[in-house]
Amino acid sequence: MKGVKILIIDASAEIRGRLAANLMRQKVVESVKEADTIRSALERMKGSEFNLVVVDIHLPDGNGVDLISKIRENQKSAVVIIITQHPYEWLRKKCLKAGADYFFDNPGEIHKINEVIDALAAETLAPDRRN
Question: What are the beta bridge partners of residue 96?
Answer: none
Residue pLDDT, tens place only, 64-105: 999 999 999 999 999 999 999 999 999 999 999 999 999 999
Provide the pairing of β-strand 52-56 with 58-59: unpaired
Q: Quick one: average pLDDT of 4-17?
A: 96
Q: Which domains does the chain have, with CATH numbers?
A: 4-129 (3.40.50.2300)
Q: Quick one: average pLDDT of 50-63?
A: 95
* pLDDT for the residue 123: 66
